[in-house]
Each structure stands twice: as structure tokens, then as C-alpha cells.
Amino acid sequence: EDQVTQSPEALRLQEGESSSLNCSYTVSGLRGLFWYRQDPGKGPEFLFTLYSAGEEKEKERLKATLTKKESFLHITAPKPEDSATYLCAVSGTASKLTFGTGTRLQVTL
């Protein structure tokens, strides 16, 4: 059974204070690892797909990396508008996405 564990559950940063979110996974036959952003009361919004260990993707202040056992979402010099819940998910041989419970990020001035 595919499993995804995200840490920390919640993270509070000051504006400009860089940090990383962790996503550890176990999956049979990784087809893709996905990061989503979810704002309160809304559906998740797709950010990145990573397919193989060593791959990196960037978008504005966000950078996602992947190893054989975990993925990191690095947030560089965050702003208050980056406050959201960040979800990690994996797709294995079953072709379905299994989600973690998310990291709730709050960025304060």
C-alpha cells in the first residue's frame, strides 16, 4: 500500500525566512510525485510533478526536489501570500494518487 507522510504538520515563518517542507513516501513503482497548494475552503492547486530521483523543479519562490525516499519543497524568502496548506501525493502502479495530510504554512510580516 502506498503511503505518504508530510512534516511538519504546521510551520510558522517570518517573511523572508527560508525553510523546507518534507514528504516521505513508500510506493511500489513510482510513476510521479506531486505537490499541490491548497487555500482555505478551496480545492488543491497543482504545483509540480517530479518523476525520478535527482529531479528538481522551480516556480517563483518554490523549489521541489526528489530522492528515492522523500521530496522536499524549499521555500525561499517567503511572503505572506505563500501561506497555505501544501500537499504531497504519489502515483504508483495503481495509477491513483495517494495524498499526505499536508503541511499548513503561515508566513507573517
The residues of the shown chain that bind other proteins, judged by CB under 8 A, are 31-32, 34, 36, 41-46, 49, 51, 87, 89, 91, 95-97, 99-102
Q: Compute the least distance from the CB of residue 74 to other proteins, in Å.
A: 19
Distance CA 8, CA 103 (A): 6
Distance CA 15, CA 76 (A): 10
Q: Compute the least distance from the CB of residue 40 to other proteins, in Å.
A: 11
The residue (of 81 and 95) whose beta carbon lies closer to other proteins is 95
